[in-house]
Amino acid sequence: MTSALTAPAPVTHYENFPVASWLCPPRLRAPIAALYHFARTADDLADEGEACAQERLQRLAAYRSDLMALGSEQEFPMLARTDWPQVFGPLATQVRAHGLPLPLMDDLLSAFIQDVHKTEAAQAYADRAELLDYCRRSANPVGRLLLHLYGVQDALSLARSDAICTALQLINFWQDLSEDLPRGRHYLNDADCARHGIARADLRPEPSALTPALRGLLAEQAAWARALMDQGAPLVHALPGRAGWELRLVVQGGLRILDKIDALQGASLHQRPTLGKADAPRMLWRALWMRRQPAD
């Protein structure tokens, strides 16, 4: 599964949530942690271990049923019988305390389920529209859940959050090509590949596979993600205090990964670019100088 709010925030394994960051307001650490563990566990059900696709889908269906019970009078009986009390106990508390919207969390589960189906069939996405629909469910709900906690609900901020989260999801795709392709995960959509004259067989995570056409395709995908990030970046000025600074670092972390993807000139097909300590000063400097754009 993929990411919406990627490092540099100090997360553990699931990259969608800035868990335990020192920039996170203390009053929101509990709900963000509850959401993180909900998403992390679902991601593990979809991805980890040796279970077959059918078993994964059955477990995800049960998990989804427990989520839906949080919005009904069945909540407390469910908490007594769920296989995931360590997830749904804290989540139930935070749903009640903060009115967390269950449909956004259900969208995340629908994306995990889709990942299982796509991976099992080794299916690619037909075009950008289909890939963006996946991002709408796998990534955008995370930003919207965080904005809900911060009390930011205006249409422009939601649209900018969606742009950032979709950009981060795409960045994660282009960062992980060398790992995803051998696992049968194809996020380079068929329409873009065909436009560059690239067949599925050309997408091999090895140095010998690189061609000018592949380099052009990967550069185009990175530019697409960068444009979305630039579109959403003004959101950093709409969030108060620590939240705004954390988002600045999230945005700059994603942009720094894109810098590295661009520098590899297609070699990200077989080499995974990552962030390290040496990248922190550059990201902090860029975060500091993220200025407000003049009003239209």
pTM of the model: 0.89
Phi first, then psi, for residue 74 (nearest 5°) are -85, 0
Phi first, then psi, for residue 124 (nearest 5°) are -95, 165
Average pLDDT, the chain: 87
Residue 19 pLDDT greater than 60, yes or no:
no
Distance, CA of 160 to CA of 167 (rounded, Å) = 11
| pLDDT attached to residue 15 | 54
Task: Looking at mean pLDDT, say which of 61-75, 114-128, 232-246, 281-295 comes out highest.
Answer: 114-128
Residue 240 pLDDT greater than 90, yes or no:
no
pLDDT band at 189 (very low <50, low <70, confident <90, very high): very high
| pLDDT attached to residue 74 | 64
| DSSP designation for 27 | G
Amino acid residing at 139: A
Sketch the domain layout of the chain as residue ranges: 22-121, 123-296
Q: Which residues, other chains included, contact 52 with Cβ-Cβ below 8 Å and sequence gap of 6+?
A: none
pLDDT per position as a tens digit, 145-177: 999 999 999 999 999 999 999 999 999 999 999
Residue 216: CB atoms within 10 A of its CB come to 15
pLDDT band at 14 (very low <50, low <70, confident <90, very high): very low
Q: Say which CATH topology domain 123-296 has.
A: Farnesyl Diphosphate Synthase (1.10.600)
| pLDDT attached to residue 243 | 84
Residue 182: CB atoms within 10 A of its CB come to 10
pLDDT band at 73 (very low <50, low <70, confident <90, very high): low
pLDDT band at 121 (very low <50, low <70, confident <90, very high): confident
Q: How far is CA 79 from CA 11, 18, 185, in A?
A: 27, 26, 34
Distance, CA of 114 to CA of 276 (rounded, Å) = 32
Residue 7 pLDDT greater than 90, yes or no:
no
Distance, CA of 291 to CA of 28 (rounded, Å) = 26
User: Of the ranges 7-21, 37-51, 63-77, which one carries the lowest mean pLDDT score?
Assistant: 7-21
With a pLDDT cut of 90, the percent of the chain lying above it is 66
| DSSP designation for 167 | H
Phi first, then psi, for residue 186 (nearest 5°) are -120, 95
Q: How far is CA 158 from CA 33, 152, 153, in A?
A: 22, 8, 7
Which residue would you say has higher pLDDT here, 21 or 228? 228
Q: How far is CA 159 from CA 17, 131, 136, 151, in A?
A: 19, 17, 11, 15
